[in-house]
Amino acid sequence: MEFVAIDVETANADMASICQIGMAKYIDGKLVDEWSTLVDPEDYFSSINVGVHGITEDQVVGAPKFSDVIQDISSFLSGGICVSHTHFDRVSITRAINKYSLNQLDTVWLDSARVARRAWEECAWKGYGLSNVCKIIGHEFKHHDALEDAKAAGQVLIAAIEKTDLGLESWLKRVSQPINPPGSLTLETIERDGNPEGELYGETLVFTGALEIPRREAADLAASIGCTVAKGVSKKITILIVGDQDITKLAGKSKSAKHLKAEGLIEKGHKIRIIKESDEKFSMYYDKKKSVGKVHSFYGNFGMLLRAYSYIMSWGSNISRVSKNALLNANYLQSLLSGVFEQPYNRKCAHEFVLSSKNLGAKSAMNIAKRIMDYGLHPPTIYFPLIVEEALMIEPTETESKESLDNFASVLKKISDELVKDPDFIKKSPHTTKLGRLDEVKAAREPNLRWLPKFKV
């Protein structure tokens, strides 16, 4: 029995931003080799991620990039079985490989979280995180250190093998089966855990009534696209599938007990979608008590989706250029303004960046936003994020030319000089618009949302 367990930590929400890797090699249940390193993700560090693993941007200065360590990773993993707890580490490695246009690894992946859910009944449906499973097996470790987490994932697999007498090859097959497979002692249950890579992962579904296909098959299909399938209606469910009802089993009611309970939860504010199966088709169910009828569909704003889809289709195979140009424009403009305003986050940015004008005095961000209109430019977002004093959040789009970016930077530089030389003039701007500076406090406290003829410009 031989396998390698792996774990990664990331700098931010991008799963390709790996900042630490740990690997532990096990043979016949014993740790025989280990390897770990910090990694320069060439990306920013989110305070949320730093709060989890404690790795900062300063700590990875001089560390190798992912492309520098891919041979070390390959030497551990190639041709063997790689264990990770949940799909996160596998997806992170894959995305980092794609980021640097490297060759994919020749390895078979095994999810120790899926192993744990099938080995220990108490964590079949919840509590299968690495920390809790290690409490069950009595393994102590330092959580969110990549090497420690890798070793812990290996220990979970070893403990599961000892508990169930299933070998490594058997577990590779077992994790692809339902938690309660056909032929098990719990044959009657249709509960399923959702495929983490399915499009509907995170949804919890319940069936009621007779469907066109056996309920067990329906449960398998729902789980394959990500749905957790539960046996009863509770506050946790998000979808109820309603099939044909046998009126002899409804105790004189027109709906099943599950259906009625779901409607009761909906009345209390719980977001549950009811979908009916009829004539081999599915449709939304709108016959609900105390409802004014369909007001807004749960599946999103169609106009917004249509505009986004049209935009994507208009670019065709060049869609990747959109993001690249947006990143390029934002970083170029940030570099032009770096010497004019303070930079609370002095690093490469994504599609937007934040500056601070606090060195130009109180309310300077507001004055800049008003004055920039005199130059025929749209003001940037101001006073957001709230944690930055006199914040200017600037987001140039991918369609801005170098000339327009240069002009925007030049205008901001002029305004910053004006704030120093003639602050009273700036405080009364804009000067060239039809309306001057409005009383925003009065507008907020005494909003007049109806146009009348007396409000002529």
- Residue 325: helix, strand or coil by DSSP? helix
The predicted model gives 366-370 an average pLDDT of 95
Domain range for 389 is 314-445
Range among 92-96, 240-244, 260-264 with highest mean pLDDT value: 92-96
Q: Are residues 294 and 326 in the same domain?
A: no
Q: Are residues 6 and 107 in the same domain?
A: yes
Is residue 105 within 8 Å of residue 93, measured between CB atoms? yes
Q: Are residues 392 and 278 in the same domain?
A: no
What pLDDT is recorded for position 259?
Answer: 87
pLDDT digits over 35-61, tens only? 999 999 999 999 989 999 999 999 999
Q: Are residues 283 and 322 in the same domain?
A: no
Among the three residues 174, 191, 207, which one is the final residue of a domain in this structure?
Answer: 174
Residue 456, domain member (yes or no): no
Range among 15-24, 204-213, 393-402 with highest mean pLDDT value: 15-24
Residue 304, domain member (yes or no): no
Residue 308, domain member (yes or no): no
Q: Are residues 218 and 256 in the same domain?
A: yes
Residue 449 pLDDT exceeds 50? yes
Q: Are residues 210 and 84 in the same domain?
A: no
What pLDDT is recorded for position 220?
Answer: 87
Residue 451, domain member (yes or no): no
Among the three residues 151, 174, 197, which one is the final residue of a domain in this structure?
Answer: 174
Question: 305 pLDDT band (50/70/90 cuts)?
Answer: confident
The predicted model gives 248-253 an average pLDDT of 63
Residue 453, domain member (yes or no): no
Question: 281 pLDDT band (50/70/90 cuts)?
Answer: low
Q: Are residues 30 and 156 in the same domain?
A: yes
CATH number at residue 85: 3.30.420.10
What pLDDT is recorded for position 229?
Answer: 93
CATH number at residue 290: 3.40.50.10190
Can you tell me the distance from the alpha carbon of 15 to that of 294, in angstroms, rounded to the nearest whole number? 38
Residue 278, domain member (yes or no): yes
What pLDDT is recorded for position 301?
Answer: 73
Question: 105 pLDDT band (50/70/90 cuts)?
Answer: very high
For all residues of the chain together, what is the average pLDDT? 88
Residue 93, domain member (yes or no): yes
Residue 305, domain member (yes or no): no
What pLDDT is recorded for position 68?
Answer: 96
CATH number at residue 389: 3.90.1150.10
What pLDDT is recorded for position 250?
Answer: 60
Residue 256 pLDDT exceeds 90? no
Long-range contacts of 363-368 (CB under 8 A, 24+ apart): 363/390, 363/427, 364/390, 364/419, 365/390, 365/391, 365/392, 367/419, 367/423, 367/426, 367/427, 367/429, 368/392, 368/412, 368/415, 368/416, 368/419, 368/426
What pLDDT is recorded for position 66?
Answer: 96
Residue 186 pLDDT exceeds 50? no
Tally of structural domains, the chain = 3
Q: Are residues 150 and 32 in the same domain?
A: yes
Can you tell me the distance from the alpha carbon of 93 to that of 103, in angstroms, rounded to the nearest whole number? 11
The predicted model gives 106-110 an average pLDDT of 95
**What is the per-residue burial (b if ≥16 Cβ within 10 Å, else e) of 319-339?**
eeebeebbbbbbbebbebbee
Relative to beta strand 30-38, strand 204-208 is: unpaired
Give the residue with greater pLDDT, 183 vs 1.
1
Q: Are residues 294 and 338 in the same domain?
A: no
pLDDT digits over 143-175, tens only? 999 999 999 999 999 999 998 888 899 999 999
Q: Are residues 285 and 393 in the same domain?
A: no
Give the residue with greater pLDDT, 254 vs 51.
51
The predicted model gives 171-191 an average pLDDT of 70
Can you tell me the distance from the alpha carbon of 380 to that of 367, in angstroms, rounded to the nearest whole number? 12
Is residue 186 within 8 Å of residue 200, measured between CB atoms? no
Residue 370 pLDDT exceeds 80? yes
Residue 185 pLDDT exceeds 50? no
What Cα–Cα distance (Å) separates residue 102 from each residue in 97, 98, 270, 276? 5, 6, 46, 47
> For the whole model, what pTM was predicted?
0.46
pLDDT digits over 419-443, tens only? 999 999 999 999 999 888 888 788 8
The predicted model gives 24-38 an average pLDDT of 95
Among the three residues 157, 174, 191, which one is the final residue of a domain in this structure?
Answer: 174
Q: Are residues 170 and 192 in the same domain?
A: no
Q: Are residues 167 and 186 in the same domain?
A: no
